[in-house]
Structure 1
């Protein structure tokens, strides 16, 4: 799987201990699945969940959905065994919880070769060290852990997420500076489609690649919001055509809908069309 071209609109958490959920996930329209061995699994279930998940990933077909396993932290009784169980298992990445620094990434990198690593960004120290974390050579993805971050910050819930904007922004800057995929945190009220749409729209407008989700009913909204709209696709095509025509006449800029179009706008337009094509290919597959 080419991570850079793969869509990450919807990234669904699935408990690694639930056989029914693992089976159902094979047919869900998620771009990626986080198979969770950490928060979603009770302490007494962790060894069984680890074995079940490793066996399932070796035999099950999840199609083009990216498979990411969230392990327990290495500072727990289960983290190292989680990593060991995933050696040789077909998956796209291991997701490391509560990453505070690049050293936390390196600690997992030392235990398992040839597997991409993602970082849960969910602590104040992680926010402050986001640039160093994103720069780690094995790190290819970041996931915002907004529930834990809110707890550590002592914030109140606000629909605009203003208390967390600094942390979200620091991680976005770090991810973009180092070519790392980054997905937004979860929206807890899984029956509130209007609230989910608003938060997805905020995350998309900020620059996130997609959103982590806690319930299959949230998939449709995330997939819609984080995909280019028909209007955006049409505008991208017209911008590219107008700019090509302007270049053919020796001009450096074009005008579309009364707005200047320069080369930087063409880069964005091309990215829009590439994302639309990748989504179409994923849906067809």
Structure 2
């Protein structure tokens, strides 16, 4: 999911060439208050112009929901071609429900099929959100995924940094990462990892992505176009993983009543079959 500042005509134009699965037209942190009105117009114009070719990929990050800015954002950008909203600084799943009600009205106004526009919240940017992550314990209408963030959470708790002196994540942010994974699984949606701030550090990004994928994340936020190829490769199954998954699926298909089987010298059971099917699904 690639962030694109909505007030930059140059970056908007360049984003069309990106291989990111989602383009997030940003109206929040990357846009100064004095430029937000113009950015809304630019985002809407871009969505309208690209609706035919990029409709399933166009999201907008609006401003915080409990501000007038958010309502102003939604009034302009909810048009045909908008696929979703990235919602920052939530407090609980109740904010998803609230935004959903707003979208019900705005979709009707725009002649959009009800429920079309999806929501991905940044689920850990406030202390209230951390304390309320259990609110994602069941599926929610419109929810398409969960991501998390550390920078705004650091500010909220008055932390000097979100890292320890050795560079490791501080415990609060390790917790936020884990809660995002669990909440996404409980809600039945993909978990999307947070950004890798040093966009020039391709090796560090690749290493972080591989750790992230092993833990269960299905993708990552990108803040620069050069990060997209690394992210796409890191979260895609390797040929060896696909071959192993096919062997598991084929073996259980040949012996549908078996509870456990031996594959490549290891015992596998139904959870391994579930994971194998999921791996093949990612490749498809």
- TM-score, normalised by the number of residues in structure 1: 0.86
Q: How far has the Cα of 1:18 moved from its partner? A: 0.9
Cα distance change of structure 1 residues 98 and 37 upon mapping to structure 2, 3 Å threshold: same
Q: Aligned ranges for residues 228-267 of structure 1 at < 5 Å? A: 228-247=237-256, 251-267=258-274
Determine the structure 2 residue equivalent to 1:185: 194
- 1:193-249 Cα shifts (integer Å, max 9, x gaps): 1111121122111111100010011111111110001110010011112222333xx
- 1:140-166 Cα shifts (integer Å, max 9, x gaps): 322212222233342442554252111
SS in 2 for 1:13: strand
Determine the structure 1 residue equivalent to 2:129: 126
Cα distance change of structure 1 residues 256 and 173 upon mapping to structure 2, 3 Å threshold: same
Q: Aligned ranges for residues 67-106 of structure 1 at < 5 Å? A: 67-106=58-97
Tell me the distance in 2 between the aligned counterparts of 1:191 and 1:273: 32
Query: 1:183·1:209 contact (CA, 8 Å) conserved in 2?
Result: yes
RMSD, aligned CA: 1.9
Determine the structure 2 residue equivalent to 1:219: 228
Tell me the distance in 1 between the aligned counterparts of 2:232 and 2:258: 38
Cα distance change of structure 1 residues 228 and 162 upon mapping to structure 2, 3 Å threshold: farther
Q: Which of these residues, 16, 23, 28, is aligned with residue 13 of structure 2?
A: 23
Higher RCO by CA contacts (8 Å cutoff, separation 6 or greater): 1
The answer to whether residue 274 in structure 2 is matched with residue 271 in structure 1 is: no
Tell me the distance in 1 between the aligned counterparts of 2:168 and 2:64: 30
Query: 2:210·2:234 contact (CA, 8 Å) conserved in 1?
Result: yes
Cα distance change of structure 1 residues 80 and 251 upon mapping to structure 2, 3 Å threshold: closer
Determine the structure 2 residue equivalent to 1:157: 163
Q: How far has the Cα of 1:257 moved from its partner? A: 1.3
Q: How far has the Cα of 1:117 moved from its partner? A: 1.8
SS in 2 for 1:117: strand
- 1:111-169 Cα shifts (integer Å, max 9, x gaps): 22132222112122212212314644333322212222233342442554252111111
Tell me the distance in 2 between the aligned counterparts of 1:134 and 1:180: 11
Q: How far has the Cα of 1:84 moved from its partner? A: 1.0
The 10-residue stretch of structure 1 (29-38 or 155-164) with the greater mean CA deviation from structure 2:
155-164
**Which consecutive residues of structure 1, in runs of 5 or more, have no partner in the other structure?**
1-10, 278-285
Query: 1:131·1:175 contact (CA, 8 Å) conserved in 2?
Result: no
Query: 1:26·1:62 contact (CA, 8 Å) conserved in 2?
Result: no
Tell me the distance in 2 between the aligned counterparts of 1:160 and 1:220: 25
Determine the structure 1 residue equivalent to 2:110: none
Q: How far has the Cα of 1:62 moved from its partner? A: 4.6
- 1:2-55 Cα shifts (integer Å, max 9, x gaps): xxxxxxxxx110001111111111111111111100011111110011011111
Q: Which runs of 4+ in 1 moved over 6 A?
A: none
SS in 2 for 1:139: coil
The 10-residue stretch of structure 1 (187-196 or 120-129) with the greater mean CA deviation from structure 2:
120-129
Tell me the distance in 2 between the aligned counterparts of 1:184 and 1:134: 19
Query: 2:90·2:122 contact (CA, 8 Å) conserved in 1?
Result: yes
Determine the structure 2 residue equivalent to 1:139: 143
Query: 2:162·2:170 contact (CA, 8 Å) conserved in 1?
Result: no
